[in-house]
Structure 1
Amino acid sequence: MARNLDIALLRTFATVADQRSMTRASERLHLTQGAISQQIARLEGMVGDALLLRDPRGLRLTPAGERLLRRVRPLIAANDEIWSEIEGGVASGPVRLGLPFDLVGPCFASALKDYCEAFPRIDLSLTCASSPDLLDLIGEGRIDIAVVEEEAGSASGETLAIDRLVWVSARAGQAPLRSPMPISLVAETCVFRPAVLAALAQAERASRMVFENGGLDATRTMVRMDMAVSAWLATTVPADLDIVAPDAGLPPLPSYAITLHRADSARGAAFDELVRTLREAMARPRLAA
């Protein structure tokens, strides 16, 4: 006798697995926490095994949960795609996007606003993190689509653009002249950090990290106050900051590819439209600083 899976239960399970919290999942799904718990219990009863366990950092998947989650995502995507076709091709459903901190404003803010207005039935959620963290998230199935920065010579994914990494300082700033030179990066996992440190080491230029893990706004403030130098892609440098001139004696930095990564389960009109939007956003002319 055929047995049928309940897509609503599977969607709840996948959301709890992604959020690692029934409370956050209830907020995403607009259900009470009690309803979430009941649905997970019902699904565990159907499969005959525990799917989630609690640990100090939140919920985690059991081996049975990991196996089920791998099979669940394509089913949810197929369900959403079928309903989109039934409803006349209108893109709908949840889409989880990941972007680096420095690309959100200058590259994608306007395009994402247009995307949300054009497809009001798509539930877009945005995660901002460093590129290495975003690659981990998409590998873990916690986001559907990510745009990341990778060194041009070793980039994976679909290349949307190539940009040069540059040293950035305050207008007429003195920070690039100090020794050791103070450096501020957005996060310890910043994708530019290894290249920056390697270039300085090769040039035998003394430096010290003065601020990390404070976020993009904090780093920008440090640079504006002439308390540190940073390294950004040329087309993301704010107009009120300077790209340090080559004659300042700082070593050259490599170019980076801006690449798009899409999870295997991210299929359907909602994902296709977002990929198209991201490609078009990067294809638009952008003013280099």
Structure 2
Amino acid sequence: MRPQLDLRLLLTFVHAAHSGSLSATAAQVGRTQSAVTMQMQRLEDVLGQSLLHRSGSGVRLTGSGERFLAYAERILQVHDEAVSAFSDKGLHGSIIFGCPEDYLIAFFSTLLKSFGTLYPAVEIKVVSAPTVELQTLLHAHKVDLALVSTPDLSATKEIVRTEPLVWVGSKPTLELHEFGDTVPLALPASNAMDHRAACTAMANAKLRYKISYASNSLAGLIAVARSGLAISVMTQEAVPNDLYILDTPLPGLPRLGIVIAFAETEHTLLVRAFADHIRHVLPTL
């Protein structure tokens, strides 16, 4: 018979993994430190693996412990969601979700509709802002969680999806725009990743350009691109059907990773449920 995992042991293990201290874990789960030590030994016996390195300064995860932590957190999360979804009260309340405008246009309606079908009593308030502003809002606890962009694609465990940046214009090729030897650009603010990526790419390709229009509003950048007075840069999924994605002789642009960022290290059940929904749905859109 296969060994059965006790949810109480999993909860204690997750607390120990995050706190690095059995005494702190004991306070969190309402048990004595010796009882917590026994629980961890029982869990290791069930799995037949050593999960924690113990020392005078606390505990840290073994290689097996690091792998098991993801399973333990997932099991506890699904358990909590199931209990909440099928209890009399169900999952309810409100959260504040931050999202850059291009991701909001491309993905949010599907995310909201599918999550609302599962949890109709949940209210999601949306704040649209660039990544740099969302990070400030998260730090100030003015949003609960947010989709933010990162140029670093090496943190593959944290990235939910990647999106290519593309050049966008009103005509199929750059030559048809007839800009001459200096390409006018419509870009977001200078601290935005799109802005930096566009300028770096043009400089590396030794192409002459000028910033003709600046706007943190995607609608504003789209309007300028439609006018034919400049070309812009945006994520591919946000490009409207009436605009064109441009390539050669324009240089290639990088891909951005999309990451879920949180205001708190300890997440509420509602925040965890929405984050998990994003992780499952966003890669499929």
In 1: Cα distance, 2:123 partner to 2:110 partner: 17
Q: Percent identity between the aligned chains?
A: 23
- Give distance in 1, aligned partners of 2:144 and 2:157: 14
Matched to 1:228, the amino acid is: A
* Kept in 1: contact 2:188–2:195 (CA 8 A): no
1:96 CA drift (Å): 1.0
CA contact (8 A) 2:171 2:177 kept: no
| Structure 1 residue 146: Cα displacement | 0.8
1:90 and 2:107 equivalent?
A: no
Contact map agreement 1:91 1:119 (CA 8 A) in 2:
yes
Q: 1:224 aligns with which of 219, 226, 248?
A: 226
Measured against aligned partners, the alpha-carbon deviations of 1:74-127 in whole angstroms (never above 9, x if no partner) come to xxxxxxx9xx69964622223110001101121121221332454343232111
Q: Please give the per-residue CA displacement for 1:217-244, whole angstroms capped at 9, x wherever unaligned.
A: 1110111111111112223222221111
Match of 2:204 among 196, 202, 207: 202
**Secondary structure in 1 matching 2:193:** coil
User: Do 2:172 and 2:245's aligned partners in 1 also have CA atoms closer than 8 Å?
Assistant: no
Distance 1:155 1:184 in 2: 30
Determine the structure 2 residue equivalent to 1:115.
115
Measured at CA, do residues 142 and 178 of structure 1 come closer, stay the same or move farther in structure 2, by a change above 3 Å? farther
Structure 1 contact 170–242 (Cα < 8 Å) conserved: yes
**Would you say the 8 A contact 1:159–1:258 is kept in 2?**
yes
Match of 2:247 among 245, 248, 272: 245
| Structure 2 residue matching 1:152: 3-state secondary structure | coil
Deviations 1:24-74 (A, max 9, x none): xxxxxxxxxxxxxxxxxxxxxxxxxxxxxxxxxxxxxxxxxxxxxxxxxxx
Question: CA, structure 1 residues 112+125, in 2 after alignment: closer, same or farther (shift >3 Å)?
Answer: same
Q: CA deviation at 1:208?
A: 1.3
Taking structure 1 as the reference length, what is the TM-score of the superposition?
A: 0.62
- Structure 1 CA distance for aligned equivalents of residues 93 and 206 of structure 2: 52
> TM-score, normalised on structure 2?
0.63
The residue identity in structure 2 corresponding to 1:162 is: T
The letter for the 1-side match of 2:246 is V
Query: What residue in structure 2 maps to residue 150 of structure 1?
Result: 150
Question: What secondary structure does 1:278 align onto?
Answer: helix
Whole-Å separation in 1 of the counterparts to 2:268 and 2:146 = 16
User: What residue is the counterpart of 1:191 in the other structure?
Assistant: 193
Cα deviation, 1:240-284, whole Å, max 9, x if unaligned, reads 2111123xx112111111111123256233112211222233122
Alignment RMSD (CA, Å): 2.8
Q: Which residue of structure 1 lines up, in the alignment, with residue 11 of structure 2?
A: none
Total equivalences in the alignment: 202
- Tell me the distance in 2 between the aligned counterparts of 1:238 and 1:281: 22
Partner of 2:214: 212
**DSSP 3-state at the match of 1:192:** helix
- The runs of 4+ residues in structure 1 deviating greater than 4 Å are 84-89, 154-157
Task: Give the 3 Å change call, closer, same or farther, for CA 214–99 of structure 1 in structure 2.
Answer: closer
* Alpha-carbon separation, structure 1, partners of 2:280 and 2:194: 25
SS in 2 for 1:205: coil
1:259 is paired with a residue whose SS is strand
Rounded Cα–Cα distance in structure 2 between residues aligned with 1:283 and 1:215: 25
Residue ranges of structure 1 left out of the alignment (5+ in a row): 1-80
- Structure 2 CA distance for aligned equivalents of residues 283 and 86 of structure 1: 27
Distance in 1 between residues matched to 2:178 and 2:132, nearest whole Å = 27
Is residue 152–residue 255 contact of structure 1 (8 Å, CA) maintained in 2? Answer: no
1:161 aligns with 2:164: no
- Counterpart position of 1:61: none
* Aligned counterpart, 2:25: none
Separation of aligned partners in 2, 1:113 and 1:244: 32
Is contact 2:168-2:239 (8 Å) kept?
A: yes
CA gap of 1:150–1:132, structure 2 versus 1, over 3 A, is: same
Structure 1 residue 163, shift from structure 2 partner: 2.1
> How far apart are the structure 2 equivalents of 1:157 and 1:142?
26
CA positional deviation for 1:191 = 2.0
Quick check: 1:108–1:281 contact (8 Å CA) kept in 2?
A: no
C-alpha change, 1:191 and 1:155, in structure 2 (3 Å) is: farther
Q: Which runs of 5+ in 2 are unaligned?
A: 1-80
